[in-house]
Amino acid sequence: MSALDIAAAVRSGERSAVDVIDEHLARIDAGDGEIHAFNLVTADAAREAAAAVDAAVAAGEDPGPLAGVPIAIKDNMCTTGVATTCSSKILEGWEPPYDATAIQRVRASGAVMVGKTNLDEFAMGSSTENSAFGPTLNPLDTSRVPGGSSGGSAAAVAADFAPLSLGSDTGGSIRQPAAFCGLVGMKPTYGAVSRYGLIAFGSSLDQIGPFSKTVAESAALLEVIGGHDPLDSTSIDQPAFDLSSVLDRGVEGMRIGILRELSGGEGSVEGLSADVLARTNDAAAALEAAGATVVDVSVPSSTLGLSAYYLVAPAEASSNLSRFDGVRYGLRVDAPTTGEMMTATRTAGFGPEVKRRIMLGTYALSAGYYDAFYGKALKVRTMMLDEFASVYADVDLLLTPTAPTTAFPLGDRTADPMTMYVNDVCTIPSNLVGHPAISVPFGVGDDGLPVGVQLLGPALSEPTIYQAAAALEAAAPGEGSPS
Amino acid sequence: MSVHEPSLPDEWELVVGLEVHVELHTATKLFCGCPNVFSHEPNTNVCPTCVGLPGSLPVMNEKAVEFAMRLGRALGCDVHPSVMARKNYFYPDMAKDFQTTQYDQPTNADGELALADSTVVGIERAHIEEDAGKTTHVGGGGRINDATYSLVDYNRAGVPLVEIVSRPDIRTVEHAKAYVSELREILLAIDVSDAKMEEGSMRVDANVSVRPMGSDELRTRCELKNINSVRSLGRAIEYEARRHVDLYANGEAPRQETRHWDEEGGRSTAGRSKEDADDYRYFQEPDLVPLAPTPEQIAEIDASMPVLPAARRARLGELSSVADEVLVTVVERGQDALALGAIEAGADADKVLTRIQNDLAVDDWSAVTSESLATLIQMETDGELTATQAKQVLGEMAAGEHGGDPKAIAAGHGFEAMESDELETLVDQLIADNPDEWSRFVGDDDGDRKKMQGFFTGQIMKATKGQADGRAVAQLLAQKSAG
């Protein structure tokens, strides 16, 4: 049952929210021992929230657009009184005294949080194998990773533990796991969804966004969480999106560019597998068949995205993660002096990938290296913004694969960080320029696992993106069947 | 032990630059809604943002920016578009383990401050930053490295500060003290800070070096911290300059370092060496947007700027010939408008200012008006009141007696009754009653003459209960002896 069907049934009093929640909790209970989508299942709180929804319905009050819909929350968003760990030992047991703005809005919509989902520690990774609490498995093939860093949120929806979930996307952490799990995953325009209460990784890149099985459910959740928030200075001062009303408008007359450098064309990045490129071409053909004009376009600097990203994101992370020092909350490893206590705490509390990125970022910001590394990465961002702007003067949206491959086997990429990092080559540019992008399932690869294709648009082009995503969804090959 | 000597040997010149931190007295903190008030109960004025909880975000306090710009304009600075930056270092009172401050793009730059004697000190910058919390180290030597434990109070964390950095233009201890006093007057005049050094709302660090007289080099400087009063500032600078001269005299040189001023011991002790100082890894704060004041905003600040102390002193200076100190005192007490009014009403400017400086050092002088003051000074000028009487009348005017009317007060004491012919009769009587004393007065012995002048004046004052004008008595005595 989709989120929209559940909401309709609960709102009309046809189904009780408690009943819906119990059904999903039972499914989690039966299945999550193997999948490990959740760090924490909040069963009691969920039943209480569901009962409140039922009471509102019984009292004739508006229970909200997503009344009774179970939702899984990535464990890097603050939830009042509920442990929020970032899948790190350093925050184990910490209970925030406040809700993230997105969580407040989810609660106000009547949706019911069923638990906090696993992630790569502090959202650093592309497979959810960097979690301090063990990996999440891909429900479509448990020998495979679900992608990352929002792997738990993706797996929760793919395993039918909840029809909706929230992830965060700093370099592809929603879109790549969506692609790996056969889901719709959206990274909104930077500033479209408040970051207040999202535990920062790369502050200038992070955005919260929805996972769902369908484009319509994704639109409904983004409508709920979007809109201006005075608590986030980078929040864009505009009302929440209206997306649901544009989904059936089609792509007739739309101009869509195939971004050559990220789609195997001339000057393309390497490592994009043939089956993924084939599905991307299929998607282009489907859009054309639906009335869009498809053209070949170039954003040369998009090939520099990966290098720029691995300077900007670790640099910001090195500063953002300084506060985990054992003084105020979370883990503290005692030592004779304050300085030694901080060192011991951070040594014990952070995993190897987090330490690697803190070191990378510290180096990139150091006196004498700033200009060569961080400063240069900022120039790349400016260059990319200019190049994307001129491309969007000609086309409405861009099309690329979401990830270079389908879901890879557990343990396949853990030995060499670089093989993991290249997973984000197609998704990173949108984060660097702050533009929205969505991953939509489009057929399967040679291994029978889903392939995701990505639609990119300029800032605040969410309505256009959802319009085209709905068209792609309608044209996609049947679920699970090879094209 | 001779802790310091009053001045440097002639062949050495003092070079001082001051860094002054000023707490802005906004209603709330710089980045959150917590009240910006002192509280004895630790960690009561705190929230997720000022304690740096994971997921929290800063929102700029617009009033603090306005205050900072007002200060900048008062110091003749250019107000620039500016950005906040992160200064990264680990310390338990830094909630985020970085300080949000300004680095290469401060709000205010290139101003100057004119001292009372017209010496001009350049202002390099006046930038906005947040205050840290307060650490108390318990046990050991009371320092962070050997304490048994440390307590942190975050009430002060996030209090808005402006750091005013002077150029190394200060050449004497007196000028350093005058700079701080003048800055304090400006802060009070534009109403942006309480500027109390003893309470820490104004904190002064001094960069001190010396150089051979006539040279324009800048030698190695030491930064003196923990200076808690203007007097202490003078002592610290004198001590430090002496220390440098002594080092050079011994063929040694000071190290660039931060030194701790020990007020009780009257000496500075070595702190952190700048050579092994932290690399702060400054970068633009991604959680805040750039500050872009409009020309209209700056024009509005300029238009609402009160007349500053220097201009107020200059105005009084044009009208009078009293010493600078008199002007400083009158303006400091905010009595310059009162004085100006009295002068405009026709009273003698020097008499007005001297009378105010000497006899109106009271907290509440609101009952004294320019008109009543002018009347009083006129009465004194016309000989209706003696200097002593005028002092007494002014005191009673300030206390609001007889509605603050000097005529009424004087009449109440019978002060105005002493006519000059009455005085002459009294003098004649005294001469007749004391022939021996009179002959000594008119004799050749200067010592005797002075003594007897004292005798006669004293007798007259006694007889008139102090109402006689001392100068008139002297004149009469001189006339009689000549006649």
d(CA B113, CA B123) in angstroms, rounded, equals 7
Q: Which residue has the higher pLDDT, B144 or A33?
A: A33
* Contact flag A322-B144 (C-beta cutoff 8 Å): no
**Chain CA centroid to CA B262, Å:** 22
Q: Which two tokens stand for residue B384?
A: 């209706």
d(CA A430, CA B396) in angstroms, rounded, equals 77
Q: Is A386 left (phi over 0), alpha (psi -120 to 50) or beta?
A: alpha
A144 pLDDT more than 70: yes
CA distances (Å), origin A57, targets A12, A18, A45, A262, A338: 8, 12, 19, 49, 54
* Contact flag A327-B92 (C-beta cutoff 8 Å): yes
Average pLDDT on A265-279 reads: 95
B465 pLDDT more than 90: no
Interface residues from chain A to B (CB-CB < 8 Å):
77-78, 84, 86, 91, 94, 96-98, 100, 195-200, 203-204, 230-234, 315-316, 318-319, 322-325, 327-329, 337-339, 342, 362, 365-367, 370, 374
Distance from CA of A423 to the nearest CA of B (A): 25
Among chain B residues, the shortest Cα distance to A100 is held by B55
Tell me the helix, strand and coil percentages in chain A, rounded to 5.
40, 15, 45
Distance from CA of A419 to the nearest CA of B (A): 29
CB pairs under 8 A between A and B: 105
* Contact flag A365-B283 (C-beta cutoff 8 Å): yes
Distance from CA of B54 to the nearest CA of A (A): 5
Distance from CA of B147 to the nearest CA of A (A): 8
Q: Is A191 left (phi over 0), alpha (psi -120 to 50) or beta?
A: left
* Contact flag B98-A91 (C-beta cutoff 8 Å): no
d(CA A165, CA A211) in angstroms, rounded, equals 5
DSSP state of B17: E
Q: Which two tokens stand for residue A254?
A: 């739309």
CA distances (Å), origin B36, targets A313, B93, B202, B227: 34, 17, 15, 23
Q: Which residues 6+ apart lie within 8 Å of A37 measured at CB? A: A28, A72, A117, A118, A136, A139, A146, A151, A152, A153, A155, A156, A159, A161
CB B226 within 8 A of CB B261: yes
Distance from CA of A289 to the nearest CA of B (A): 43
Specify the DSSP element, H or E, that contains A51.
Answer: helix A43-58
Question: Do the strands A207-212 and A164-169 form a parallel or antiparallel pair, or are they unpaired?
Answer: antiparallel
d(CA A395, CA A467) in angstroms, rounded, equals 15
Res. A483 pLDDT band, cuts 50 70 90: very low
d(CA A449, CA B45) in angstroms, rounded, equals 54
* Contact flag A96-B55 (C-beta cutoff 8 Å): yes
CB A68 within 8 A of CB A53: yes
Among chain B residues, the shortest Cα distance to A374 is held by B283
Q: Which pLDDT score is estimated for B39?
A: 80
CB B184 within 8 A of CB B75: no
Distance from CA of B107 to the nearest CA of A (A): 18
d(CA B176, CA B160) in angstroms, rounded, equals 25
The predicted model scores a pTM of: 0.89
Which among A315, A323, A325 has CB closest to B283? A315
On chain B, the residues whose CB falls within 8 A of the CB of A376 are none
State the CB neighbour count (10 A cutoff) for residue B36: 23
CB B205 within 8 A of CB B227: yes
* Contact flag B286-A367 (C-beta cutoff 8 Å): no
Average pLDDT on A65-94 reads: 97
Tell me the helix, strand and coil percentages in chain B, rounded to 5.
40, 20, 40
Which among B95, B146, B289 has CB closest to A233? B289
In chain A, % of residues over pLDDT 90: 95
B262 pLDDT more than 80: yes
Among chain B residues, the shortest Cα distance to A205 is held by B286
* Contact flag A197-B55 (C-beta cutoff 8 Å): yes
Q: Which pLDDT score is estimated for B483?
A: 66
On chain A, the residues whose CB falls within 8 A of the CB of B57 are 195-196, 231-233
Average pLDDT on B392-409 reads: 90
CA distances (Å), origin A70, targets A112, A118, A151: 5, 17, 18
**φ, ψ for residue A450, nearest 5 deg:** -65, 150
CA dihedral over B437, B441, B442, B443, signed as positive or negative: positive
Q: Which pLDDT score is estimated for A8?
A: 98
Among chain B residues, the shortest Cα distance to A365 is held by B281
CB A109 within 8 A of CB A224: yes
d(CA B29, CA B64) in angstroms, rounded, equals 8
* Contact flag B283-A91 (C-beta cutoff 8 Å): no
Exposed, middle or buried: residue B24 (CB in 10 Å: 0-12, 13-18, 19+)?
A: buried
3-state secondary structure of B379: helix
Residues of A recognised as catalytic: 74, 149, 173
DSSP state of A195: -
On chain B, the residues whose CB falls within 8 A of the CB of A367 are 279, 281
On chain A, the residues whose CB falls within 8 A of the CB of B289 are 233-234
Average pLDDT on A428-457 reads: 98
* Contact flag B145-A337 (C-beta cutoff 8 Å): yes
Q: Which pLDDT score is estimated for B457?
A: 87
Which among A198, A327, A342 has CB closest to B55? A198
- The angle formed by the CA atoms of residues B80, B82 and B84, to the nearest 5 degrees, is 155
Which among B55, B144, B286 has CB closest to A78? B55
Length of chain A: 483
On chain A, the residues whose CB falls within 8 A of the CB of B92 are 325, 327, 338
Distance from CA of B285 to the nearest CA of A (A): 9
> Is residue B420 reached through a cis peptide bond, with omega within 30 degrees of 0 on the bond before it?
no
CB A25 within 8 A of CB A114: yes
pLDDT digits (tens, 9 = 90+) for B317-370: 999 999 989 999 999 999 999 999 999 999 999 999 999 999 998 888 889 999
Q: Which residues 6+ apart lie within 8 Å of B58 measured at CB? A: A233, B30, B31, B32, B49, B100, B285, B287, B288
* Contact flag A96-B48 (C-beta cutoff 8 Å): yes
B141 pLDDT more than 80: no
* Contact flag B52-A94 (C-beta cutoff 8 Å): no
B274 pLDDT more than 60: no
On chain B, the residues whose CB falls within 8 A of the CB of A234 are 286-287, 289
Average pLDDT on A299-311 reads: 96
pLDDT digits (tens, 9 = 90+) for B32-88: 999 999 888 999 999 999 999 999 999 999 999 999 999 999 999 999 999 999 999
Among chain A residues, the shortest Cα distance to B99 is held by A319
* Contact flag A204-B286 (C-beta cutoff 8 Å): yes
CB A135 within 8 A of CB A121: no
Question: Do the strands A397-401 and A255-259 form a parallel or antiparallel pair, or are they unpaired?
Answer: parallel
Q: Which residue has the higher pLDDT, B365 or B287?
A: B287
In chain A, % of residues over pLDDT 70: 99
- Ranking A313-317, B35-39, B237-241, B379-383 by mean pLDDT, the lowest is B379-383
In chain B, % of residues over pLDDT 90: 69
Which residue do the tokens 């506060």 mark?
Answer: A323
* Contact flag B55-A200 (C-beta cutoff 8 Å): yes
Average pLDDT on A16-40 reads: 98
State the CB neighbour count (10 A cutoff) for residue B321: 8
On chain A, the residues whose CB falls within 8 A of the CB of B90 are 322, 325, 339, 342
Specify the DSSP element, H or E, that contains B267.
Answer: strand B267-273
CA distances (Å), origin A34, targets A131, A137, A156, B292: 15, 8, 12, 53
Distance from CA of A415 to the nearest CA of B (A): 30
Length of chain B: 483
* Contact flag A96-B53 (C-beta cutoff 8 Å): yes
* Contact flag A367-B279 (C-beta cutoff 8 Å): yes
B1 pLDDT more than 60: no
* Contact flag B289-A234 (C-beta cutoff 8 Å): yes
Distance from CA of B51 to the nearest CA of A (A): 8
Q: Which pLDDT score is estimated for B6?
A: 54
Mutation target for A interface from B97, B100, B276: give the one with most A CBs within 10 A: B97
Q: Which residue has the higher pLDDT, B166 or B413?
A: B166
Among chain A residues, the shortest Cα distance to B146 is held by A337
pLDDT digits (tens, 9 = 90+) for B169-194: 999 999 999 999 999 999 999 999 99
B417 pLDDT more than 80: no
Q: Which two tokens stand for residue A357?
A: 């990125």
pLDDT digits (tens, 9 = 90+) for A161-207: 999 999 999 999 999 999 999 999 999 999 999 999 999 999 999 99
Average pLDDT on B144-165 reads: 91
Mutation target for B interface from A76, A84, A99, A322: give the one with most B CBs within 10 A: A322
Average pLDDT on A260-284 reads: 95
State the CB neighbour count (10 A cutoff) for residue A271: 12
Q: Which pLDDT score is estimated for B419?
A: 63
